[in-house]
Amino acid sequence: MMQSILVTGGAGYIGSHICKELASNGYRPVVFDNLTRGHQDNVKWGPFVNGDVRSIEALRNTIHQYNIDSVIHCAALAYVGESFEKPLEYYKVNVIGALTLIEAIRLEHISTLVLSSSCAVYGSVGILPVSENSVIAPISPYGRTKSIIEMATTDACSHNRFSSIALRYFNAAGAASDGSLAERHEPETHLIPNILKGLSDSSAHFLLNGVDFDTSDGTCVRDYVHVTDIAKAHLLALKYAKVNAGFNAFNLGTGSGFSIREIISEAENVTGLKLRVKEGLRRPGDPPYLVANPAKAKEILKWEPVCSDITTIVSDAWKYFGRNP
């Protein structure tokens, strides 16, 4: 019998790619999303429930109606900059939503939960690359919400005897290679879509936030991971959590970093276009250098980021944005 997996936030960027991967591996993804940030036309591989993760009744009804086996929790507010402007909203949605989901899982006797977490839990790390043993010291409200969720889930696993995996994404990027899915945030804050949109509009300037970081060219360095590789990691995490009790966390990154100027250069090479750049101030909450040590995920989950070379990431994103500027 086909297993039904509840994917909260499944109409969003990462959630929709996870649903695509689940369906291609014989699962039935059930999307639970209130569409405040997601898009209903991203729901293509299973049932859709319009619901808020802070509603325990809606969660329990969905779990019961669709005979849910396991849960992947992606629903969240996830803009670092916005979290400084609306910190309480981030705590209300992210933390209360996660706690409500955990309670629904407990009441419905579900034993497996995979959490969408973030490298934002680390903040500015002194020792690089960042391992799971690095100090948890988030520097943004968004990062703090993710850290609190991980701590609460750890305690819940100990008390309620269920299994949970937190996947700490570094910079999710790229798009489905067939052009069916891509980043469509409103407003868009992620680097690669904004670069590609700037390249598509010859009259526009791309705002480069921060050129005075302590890096080789003065711009932030990040570890970019293809969203398809991230989606595949969720399936591996589900399988691992099924047979390993308790809480565990894994970094999802490549171990290699690229500066913003290097990403701009790659995008210009892929598209054959030239970006007009306007230099601006740093954004709050941006550490200068953030690169993962992914050894734990590779060793334990047997995960390999096979699509995450920077040319593939930019090329796959351009397949969508080249047609939809």
Calculate helix-pair angle for 191-200, 310-321, nearest 10 degrees.
Answer: 50
Helix (H) or strand (E) holding 167: strand 163-169
Q: Which fold has domain 191-222+255-321?
A: UDP-galactose 4-epimerase; domain 1 (3.90.25)
* 3-state DSSP assignment of residue 70: strand
Residue type, 164: S
- Taking the C-alpha atoms of residue 181 and residue 130, their distance in angstroms, rounded to an integer, is 29
Pick out the chain residues at pLDDT < 70.
324-325
Q: Which fold has domain 4-173+224-252?
A: Rossmann fold (3.40.50)
Of 229, 233, 251, residue with least CA distance to 305: 229
Instruction: Report pLDDT for 105.
Output: 96
Instruction: Report pLDDT for 283.
Output: 84
- Taking the C-alpha atoms of residue 100 and residue 59, their distance in angstroms, rounded to an integer, is 9
Domains of the chain by residue range: 4-173+224-252, 191-222+255-321
Q: Check: CB of residue 52 under 8 Å from CB of residue 34.
A: yes
Instruction: Report pLDDT for 325.
Output: 61
Instruction: Report pLDDT for 314.
Output: 97
User: Catalytic annotation on 27?
Assistant: no
Tokens read off for 35? 């569409």
Options 142, 240, 289, 320, the catalytic residue: 142
- pTM for the model stands at 0.95
Instruction: Report pLDDT for 12.
Output: 97
Instruction: Report pLDDT for 204.
Output: 82
